[in-house]
Amino acid sequence: MLAPLLALLALPATLAGYACPDTTKAMVNLKGPGSGSGTVYFTQHEGSDQVKISGLISGLTPGKHGFHVHVFGDIFTDGCASTGGHYNPFNRTHGAPTDRIRHVGDLGNIEADAKGDAHIDFTDCVISLCGRRTILGRGVVVHAGADDLGRGGFEDSKTTGHAGNRTACGIIAAIDPTK
């Protein structure tokens, strides 16, 4: 009786999804200091742990760019630098979105095409738009380089994915969920 319960409690808290009682939507407008700007939407339907992430970021250098939720939405004090580190409420190491051990904010990479456009359309069930893992009011950062997903072997691979400078960022704002 007790053993399965204890096993369940020992699971990393990031494993199970977090459903919201109401449909919740948010958006982020991303802007420089570096190249890349655009808008990304987050949608989580009533009772679901899936967050749909969609949008377009243009003006990027072609290729992969680290894409994370950072802990603070503060782009006022010092631009993207004041958004803090990756949103990591469970004190884990950096990883890929599909890893069992990851930061809540680890959304991996977006990829810009030859024109510099990154079309974003994926889902994640570790971030949430409500409750203990909410990303509302926090920051999104797009990096100049690729996120190595913790596997690059650099000094900062296990904290930031060695993704380099913060090229664009914005604040995740709640929007009208009926629209």
Ligand X SMILES: *[C@@H]1O[C@H](CO)[C@@H](O)[C@H](O)[C@H]1NC(C)=O
Q: Which residues lie near Cu ion (CB under 5 A)?
A: 68, 141
Mapping DSSP onto H, E and C, the string for 117-150 reads CEEEEEEECCCECCHHHECCCCEEEEECCCCCCC
**What x-and-dash track marks residues 54-93 binding ligand X by CB under 6 A?**
-------------------------------------x--
Q: Which residues are within 8 A (CB) of 129 and not within 5 positions of it... i.e. 6 or more apart?
A: 20, 24, 25, 26, 42, 44, 51, 135, 136, 174
**What x-and-dash track marks residues 51-90 binding Zn ion by CB under 5 A?**
-----------------------------------x----
As measured in angstroms, the least distance from the Cβ of 164 to ligand X is 5
Residue 50 in the binding site for ligand X (CB under 6 A): no
In the complex with Zn ion, the residue whose CB is nearer, 69 or 75, is 69
Strands of the sheet with 166-171, listed across from one edge: 106-112, 63-70, 139-143, 166-171
Catalytically active residues are: 68, 70, 86, 94, 103, 106, 143, 166
Q: Which of 132, 151, 170, 177 is nearest to 40 (CA)?
A: 170
Contact residues for Zn ion, defined by CB under 5 A: 86, 94, 103, 106
Contact residues for ligand X, defined by CB under 6 A: 91, 144, 164-165
